[in-house]
Structure 1
């Protein structure tokens, strides 16, 4: 799945879109890549002359990847398209149950997320994720996403 297809499923856009490509997916798991350009906004001051990807952005990468899975396979709206469909915000972060960062992630090359759907209860989805860079496990996360009315986002 390329960037255009991902943007049909997610509301995120550059410079905040973290998912560059989806390499594998089904209704229970997704694998995605973040390809770094080296010019990402979130590393310019984190840290000057020694850039490191913030843990919050690693979480966001996994959250967006899980959002693609929810929208593609568990959407309450048939043929959901983020550019056209109104009424729903899909895959909104609800809770981070745990995050363990095992080593530093540099903003270079590809970052790979392997995200698994653990449980689904109505509009609540629980996930686990592992994040790799150059085949080295960098982080393990557990989190929940929820589908909500987009009224919460627009304030209407």
Structure 2
């Protein structure tokens, strides 16, 4: 899915649509990517002269990638974050890097979906986290 296709399944728009593309590769797995070009809004003050992508932004990128797993279920619902657990930041993501994301659905309980996510640059683990979200029907 490109950015326009992603807009059909998640409510994010510029400047909060943070991934360049995402694909569902199996029933419970999706992959995505974002090339950090250096002019992104979240780099402006993080950190001047030494820009690195904030951890919370990396987690949001993983969450947006995971939405592809349940795209057909979210046609009439919106996914909302309900938790982030065990977030671990191993390497920095910088301008010029292509951040590659893999998300796996580990379980589903009613409207709640539980995901394991990891993000890498050049095969090197940068971040991992477990998170959940709820699908809330749109009004």
TM-score for both structures, normalised by structure 1: 0.82
Separation in structure 1 between the aligned mates of residue 98 and residue 6 of structure 2, nearest angstrom: 17
> Over the residues paired in the alignment, what is the CA RMSD in angstroms?
1.5
Indicate if the aligned counterparts of 1:23 and 1:33 stay in contact, CA closer than 8 A.
no
* Unaligned segments of structure 1, at least 5 residues: 152-156
TM-score for both structures, normalised by structure 2: 0.92
The answer to whether residue 10 in structure 2 is matched with residue 22 in structure 1 is no
My pick for the range that moved more, 59-68 or 110-119, is 59-68
Separation in structure 1 between the aligned mates of residue 5 and residue 105 of structure 2, nearest angstrom: 21
Q: How does 1:3-152 map onto structure 2 within 5 Å?
A: 3-72=3-72, 74-75=73-74, 80=75, 88-89=77-78, 91-150=79-138
Indicate if the aligned counterparts of 2:32 and 2:101 stay in contact, CA closer than 8 A.
yes
Indicate if the aligned counterparts of 1:129 and 1:142 stay in contact, CA closer than 8 A.
yes
My pick for the range that moved more, 54-63 or 103-112, is 103-112
Larger radius of gyration: 1
Indicate if the aligned counterparts of 1:114 and 1:129 stay in contact, CA closer than 8 A.
yes
Q: Which runs of 4+ in 1 moved over 6 A?
A: none
**CA-CA distance at 1:36 after TM superposition:** 1.9
